[in-house]
Structure 1
């Protein structure tokens, strides 16, 4: 992938990268200006001074030569669990994206080192937890430890801002959009198989809300018409599917916009702006943190509604099918334990919904006295996506079995389920079926 401008960097992409020459020339010109400004000897935070509570300490020339490397070494205090490779790559891509804005004033050589590290596939081990500071200097110190040739200001530039959380959030936006599509498909299958009245999904029900109107149209199209509904009203968990998933989609869009603001805004500190170094607060990340939290809550609600529909699918009064979707109720337990797994998963998911930015603590002798924990917020989001997929798989298995027991063909969007889940004629370890659904039909 040829990168002509900063916005070309896609943290969800696995393509090899190459930076276009005009962009490298622009960065080289900025770097030359940075070095000239530094030669003037004025104090520049983290470059010729210490950091945090040590920022009042001026460094000698000899100290400055090793200081940028020491900034990374002394802050690599994390440990396992480590980020999975795709998230580790997203951290590196996030840092590259911010460097290409030019505010950091790093050298072309450092940018090329970073590109080579990304393209090598030999990704650093980055701690998934324990950022514990304003910004994310601990995980970033681990991420960029392999970049050993650092010039003036380049160590502090590698540690500045929240590029890791932003890159990971961009990756999870892509995953959350796929998950929202799965939520729609499975909910539509449940609506169809119980013969729910289609009135709640009509065009008029989306008035004043384009996102909702589009979601209702999707559900209606996928569920198909119902000439003779089983009742005047289906259970609430069926009727509100459009509102629930529309809210998930809005929350994804809100987070995506916050990711764009974080990438396009000033993240470096000190940033090189208008020919001078400016201390900024681009590391705070409350915007990104808040919208990660918002999406977690939306997913938790969607998972709870999905689990509720699953419970209704086990009820003959709702479906007209054998109890617990067992082929032979009594001798067989059917899918009751699948619902229990969904209940346990939603319980765990609820515990992720506490606002991440609540509970600041002082560090660095009071110099850093506020945090938003954006690194932890995006970690919670990753877990929320995983758990919501798990609940969705449980509902999908029940929808599949309901269609089978009703002797009705699966809708086209659900045909792939039959390729990985054998017919359910008796009790068996359904965990294996759920795993196959998660690995294939409900791909992350």
Structure 2
């Protein structure tokens, strides 16, 4: 059999033009490769800013963070002979991060987000710095970045100091699956450590790249979860003998939230059936089924708005000061403030946690013989005398409740916890990076809920079919059910389900199911 030729990953070109959050997610997940533009006009624009900064220094210009100290120390003048050392002091004293390290995927997203911002051409950096960032991405040489230590204004200083240090051959990296000294890994692939030019330390560190990179990944995960939760709801309506007429197109035309209407349309597509509703059904299902479009629809309607916030931040110049090359001006401001990402992530985690809560409530109905229309308690597949000692999905439902409760607990908005810090210079901060980490944790927990619901859907559809052998399923739902049957054995005798959960989580995170 002839093997198909290998398709190289698509290239994401960094030239200052607008990037999408899918570009960042694809780079982070290895589905794309970074390429710094070789266009002369782009490189000339970068050089103009760096040359202008050099001229200012020769003419004794005063530039924050170049000829002055940082933050509250901006009133401290730096002697000319020490200016070259200042960027290295910046990343050195910020080497105080803690907590877990960012994952490889998260780290690639951070590197890509920082490169995107610096390619706007108003940060006063050299082409050499941009090339060094590109090399880290191309060679998958990933700085070990502690997740904790940023208040999200003046940018992600402490976590990004680990990027700056690695560019200069210091601290540690993850390379080829191994934790190694940065200098050793750089030398192995023939990359010389940088000596940062004036302002380059500040340009790398004084920005929103960590929170923005994480936000790009969070958005993609939330978008897929929304679609999967809708498909799972359709399964649960069938298992619970629910009413498809709750998702009637005319009904939803009367409350015209576009995302809510999309969810209802997906449910209609999954639930279409030639058989009429039974007369013995409840006229109205309980809210977790009937109101699913109203819950998932909140997330669906939020996603386009949140995409705009995230992508505007991604394509912004967000360090300080900015070096405007055309008019040759130094612009001092506060673009490092991550308020828009903080809002996006606080909003996202709230909407996602509500989806977890919806699925948790659906599972509570399915396992309860008082509400599941004739199915065995806990969706147990055991029969006869052995039914007495088998417990089906009882513990799984408890775990789903635990994961949901933890997700809901995480929804307190981080952005309202601004702290005054750094001698009251940073007296109002965004907390955007903490909000992004919270959102990722809520997504992780909600994905665990969804993985458990995949097990419940497979089990519930099997048990409903035993009672109704002519169970009608729309083609989309029938294909989904067949896929689940291939992935998960029915739960007849009690067994540990953790291995099933991990396999399903991996499939979920790889977007294994094509969902409208």
Q: TM-score range by the shorter chain?
A: over 0.9
Match of 1:192 among 238, 256, 266: 238
In the TM superposition, residue 232 of structure 1 has moved relative to its aligned partner by 1.1
Structure 1 equivalent of residue 338 of structure 2: 285
Structure 1 length-normalised TM = 0.95
Describe the shift of the 1:224–1:442 C-alpha distance in structure 2 as closer, same or farther (beyond 3 A): farther
What whole-Å deviation, never above 9, does each CA across 1:114-147 have from its counterpart, x for those lacking one?
1011111110001112214622100010122111
Deviating more after overlay: 261-270 vs 98-107 = 261-270
Aligned pairs for 1:266-345 within 5 A: 266-273=317-324, 274-316=327-369, 317-327=371-381, 328=383, 329-345=387-403
The aligned residue for residue 94 of structure 1 is: 113
Q: Equivalents in 2 of 1:220, 1:314: separation in Å? A: 24
For the residues of structure 2 that align with 1:141 and 1:367, how far apart are their CA atoms?
20
**Larger strand proportion, structure 1 or 2?**
2
Q: Which residue of 2 aligns with 1:157?
A: 203
SS at match of 1:277: strand
Equivalent runs, 1:352-363 vs 2, <5 Å: 352-363=410-421
Pairwise CA distance, 1:78: 0.8
Secondary structure in 2 aligned to 1:11? helix
SS in 2 for 1:16: strand
Q: Which moved more, 1:62-71 or 1:399-408?
A: 399-408
Equivalences for residues 418-437 of structure 1 within 5 A = 418-437=485-504
Match of 2:158, SS state, is helix
DSSP 3-state at the match of 1:111: helix
Structure 1 gap segments, 5+ residues each: none
Match of 1:16 in 2: 33
Which residue is 1:403 aligned to? 461
Report deviation, 1:333.
1.2
CA distance in 1, matches of 2:77, 2:481: 65
The equivalent position to 2:271 in structure 1, one of 210, 219, 223, is 223
Task: Quote the Cα distance in structure 1 between the aligned partners of 2:81 and 2:19.
Answer: 39
Aligned to 2:243, the other structure's residue is in SS state coil
Question: 1:259 and 2:270 equivalent?
Answer: no
Q: Is 1:438 aligned to 2:488, yes or no?
A: no
Decide whether the 8 Å contact of 2:14 with 2:119 is kept in 1: no
Deviates more, 1:46-55 or 1:166-175: 166-175
Output the aligned Cα RMSD.
Answer: 1.8
Q: Which moved more, 1:340-349 or 1:401-410?
A: 401-410
Q: Are positions 1:123 and 2:142 aligned together?
A: yes
**Cα distance in 1 for residues equivalent to 2:80 and 2:230:** 61
* CA displacement at 1:416 relative to structure 2: 2.1
Deviation at 1:278, TM superposition (A): 1.3
Structure 2 distance, partners of 1:244, 1:7, is 32
The residue number in structure 2 matching 1:83 is: 102
Please point out which of 226, 242, 253 is paired with 1:180: 226
Partner residue in 2 for 1:3:
14
Equivalent of residue 138 in structure 1, options 145, 158, 168: 158
SS of residue matched to 2:146: coil
CA distance in 1 between partners of 2:340 and 2:353 (Å): 20
Structure 1 position 72 matched with structure 2 position 126: no
Relative distance call for 1:281 and 1:414 in structure 2 (3 A) is farther
Query: Is residue 2:46 matched to residue 1:27?
Result: yes
Work out the CA distance in 2 between the residues paired with 1:29 and 1:414.
59
Taking the aligned partners of 2:54 and 2:252, their CA distance within structure 1 comes to 58
- Separation in structure 1 between the aligned mates of residue 504 and residue 35 of structure 2, nearest angstrom: 37
Indicate conservation of the 8 Å contact 2:360/2:449, yes or no.
yes
Give the match's secondary structure for 1:21.
coil
2:82 to 63, 71, 89: 63
CA distance in 1 between partners of 2:332 and 2:480 (Å) = 52
Write the distance in 2 (CA, Å) between the matches of 1:392 and 1:319: 23
Structure 2 partner of 1:394: 452
CA shift, 1:364, in A, is: 1.6
Q: What's the CA shift for 1:249? A: 1.7
8 Å CA contact 1:417–1:441 kept in 2: the answer is no
Give 1:415's match in structure 2, choosing from 476, 479, 482: 482
For the 8 Å contact 1:189–1:411, the answer to whether it is kept is no
TM norm structure 2: 0.82
Does 106-115 or 410-419 show the bigger shift? 410-419
Q: How many residues align?
A: 444
CA contact (8 A) 2:207 2:319 kept: yes
**Partner of residue 384 from structure 1, selected from 422, 442, 445:** 442
